[in-house]
Structure 1
Amino acid sequence: MTDGIALSPRPASSALLTDHYELTMVAAALADGNAARNCVFEAFARRLPEGRRYGVVAGTGRLIDEITRFRFRDEEIDFLREHKVVDDAALQWLAEFAFSGDIDGYREGEIYFPESPILTVRGTFAEGVILETLILSILNHDSAIASAGARMIGAAGGRPCIEMGSRRTAEWAAIASARAAYLVGFGSTSNLEAGRTFGVPTAGTAAHSFTLLHDNELSAFRSQVDLMGAGTTLLVDTYDVMQGIRNAVKVAGPGLGAIRLDSGDLGVLAREARELLDSLGATKTRIIVTSDLDEYAIASLAAAPVDGYGVGTSLVTGSGAPTCGMVFKLVERDGVPVAKKAAGKGNDGGAKAAVRRHDAQGRIVEEVAAVGGRPDVGEGDLQLQVPLIRSGRPHEVATLTEAREYHAKQMTTLPREARKLTRGGPAIDVDVYQA
């Protein structure tokens, strides 16, 4: 509550999920007669985060949904008028606004590299520029989570991962993070709203506080097993880990589903836990580890008897999931290429069409982006951009499940060196050329 007014975390309209200057540019362009000029904008990354070899496109499905909700209703117009953001002529234009242009982009779950033309927006200047902040906020956030998550899934080597970062980021960012993690292979999330909104499977049992609530560990475990059954996961490191395992098996029997380790030297503890569980007859009880895991920690546990990982902080925060700093640039005006030339922040003008080429084993060997035309497409080549919106109406956008399956397939096309966790430059340099 602020000043007695309840703040909605996801308002009915997405129109104010933008920057002030997007509207002042629209107002000025309307006033000087340039607002209706035909323009092409592109979203791309100039570089990847330090040491990363590839990125993953995520958030496309969310973005299309938010663009369809980008409407200035009476409430938004009243706010803009009250705060004198733009003049009356601009307010009238905004009140009637609905995006009517075309958007093409890389499929959700696709791999990308520096200069990959990830999203292309065609329309008037006004209706393109007004979407800049919305586009970048979604693509930058979700792609950062997906890119970090993909590395973790690779390090896990087929062992399941659960996303559990809700308490380490903002409440609605947590939902988007869970979606992006599921896209790249995480099996479930701890976040219930992500389950309701996006259909991501949810999972969870108990924290240390539940054990501390009870007079002893045995009674805490008994309470959980009585409610959830012997197949539940018991957190065994509140006190003494080995005694916790004995108590867990004593309560649940050898059919105990799993134990969770959340502290200490996880590799050593996992080995000791496996030996003890086996000696107690709980040979099928799984061992789940948590505690500030990232892709490097997960990789270090590859030889340990670990059956699954719970990942939070390093997946949903900037330290573990740094943004690639995608930008949204005007590249064409009335059919004429335009480009920013500032040192270190320049870009190639002109609308681009991208194709990715593969070798006989299906591995990526080249990505080319033609300005003002289309590259030749041969056998085994992939046209990277697909229609997302046509004349303002959403095209057939992949479901989250379809995007997840597509991503898994595309990860197999990465060159082997791209999947290494050691630091290195982008696995592929995108060749941008004049068609």
Structure 2
Amino acid sequence: MTSTVGPTDHGTAGIPEFPMARAAGRPLDPPPALRELQAETPLTRVRLWDGSTPWLVTRYADQRAVLGDRRVSADMTHPTYPRQAPGNATLSFIGMDDPEHARLRRMVGSAFAVKHVAAMRPAVQKVVDDALDAVLAGPNPVDLVEAFALPVPSLVICDLLDVPYRDHDFFQHNSRILINRDTTPEDRTAASTVLADYLGRLVVAKLDHPGDDLLSRLGERIKAGELTVQGATEMAVLLLIAGHETTANMIALSTVALLSHPDQLALLRDTDDPAVATNAVEELLRYLNITHGGRRRVALEDVEVAGQLVRAGEGLVLPNDIANRDPEAFPDPDRLDLTRRARHHVAFGFGVHQCLGQPLARLELEVVYRTLYRRLPDLRLAVDFDDIPFKHDGFVYGVYELPVAW
């Protein structure tokens, strides 16, 4: 039976705030309140920072249904889109709907195609090996984030785009500002502006001096009249930020999880079977949560979700951390099991907006998992687990620092 209960029927009293806090001492698990809501109901209201009360979708099957429904929009400029923070601007095509989303996505899609990414394996392996050479030659203990997890994907995406890695301090600093939930609108605008100015100059330079890189391909689209300089710059900002922040945090967070599960770490470290690392990538993506704060959508027309009528203009929040811990989709979901077949997770989303860069992220993680723990077989935390600073205030979840020794 379809319900039509909404916030106008009962006000906002008693509606829980979102995002929700994780339990003390359990930073790798979804918030307890999300678990309770998932067990109780597939759909419920939550209150965001601006007082709006979108629907929270708690179960795996319902999230996939919403993400695959063309009546539900990813348009961040929609007046009732459930924004993550004030001044949270559209990030190129990920904040658009088809056909414009598909048109822009196709312009860069070939660079992230499985076949093209597979050819990058030797280059990614060299980046990982060189970074570990530097780690082994340096101080012990070390912050694994600064020494390894952040440089590796930064170097890879810089090479793909042809962005000078020597500028990494600049773009990493401004990226951190943009993905922090507590950043003021003024600071977010300033960081976005300087990043756009920087990448815009690189894009324009490619118009006269193209190369074999992704910025040059965007330059070709500008010359063909298919893209403006501003549009190309927005795409470059998106690719640079997403190309290093998400994978860097996943590398660090995976290491925390594996050091907390030594039996699973041994399974990954002590095998010559490459399929183990491939499978580990999927299970760790399921078990952990980098997309912090849930994917956001807005209904363009009345649509039924899990028996509940969601009216046109109402927002939806889809936290993939709780969907990936849904026992209906993943038996014994709170157990990290690297032998689990977990590729159907929603860490990369689902439908037309699923992550463009997932083949590259999978490759980078697989190479890291096959290399890091074998070259540092005695890797261990250099601080107590409770002293690790987790990014509870970010749109991208991870750790600010990860002191390790070996």
Report which of the two has the higher share of helix.
2
Higher relative contact order (CA 8 A, sep 6+): 2
The TM-score bracket by the shorter chain reads under 0.3
TM-score of the pair, normalised by structure 1:
0.23
Larger radius of gyration, structure 1 or 2?
1
TM-score of the pair, normalised by structure 2:
0.24
